[in-house]
Amino acid sequence: MTESSPSPFRRGQIAGALFLALGATCGALGAHALETVMTPDRLDSWGTASLYFLVMGAGLIGAAHSSSQRRSQVALDAVWVGTLLFSCSIMGLVTLATLEVGAAWRAVLGPVTPLGGVLMIGGWMGWAWSRRSR
């Protein structure tokens, strides 16, 4: 019998591994290919987004390994969704600003970044709380 979706444990590990791959790829892209295209401030923002992919990816892999309770899994889901929103919105903002296009998209993406940050922070706090009550 096959499962239609990964178990919560595997979902956290898969998201973490994909974030590690994305962080490494985007970091290398920023350090090499984008260096001559973007301003130093935009490269710094790109690097921040890449770093969050890396850090949250490693955290998700470790936390998913020790999380079997539903509360823990919901909290980690908030972390990976928040990471996607946070890092991808920063990268989208930087890319659109560099290309000097998408003013309407930039207006939409701007508020997404802090929303992603709140989800990450809330997710980690929720995960810590779920571990306390074991």
Instruction: Say how many residues make up the chain.
Output: 134
* DSSP-H helix ranges across the chain: 8-28, 40-65, 70-99, 103-132
So where are the chain's domains?
A: 8-132
Give the pLDDT confidence of 95-127 residue by residue, as tens digits.
999 999 988 989 999 999 999 999 999 999 999
What's the pLDDT band for 35 if we cut at 50, 70, 90?
confident
Q: How many CB atoms lie within 10 A of CB 34?
A: 18
Match 């790109």 to its residue by tokens. 46
Q: How many CB atoms lie within 10 A of CB 67?
A: 21
For residue 5, the model assigns a pLDDT of: 58
Average pLDDT, the chain: 89
Does domain 8-132 fall under CATH 3.40.630? My reply is: no
- Cα gap 102→95, rounded to integer Å: 10
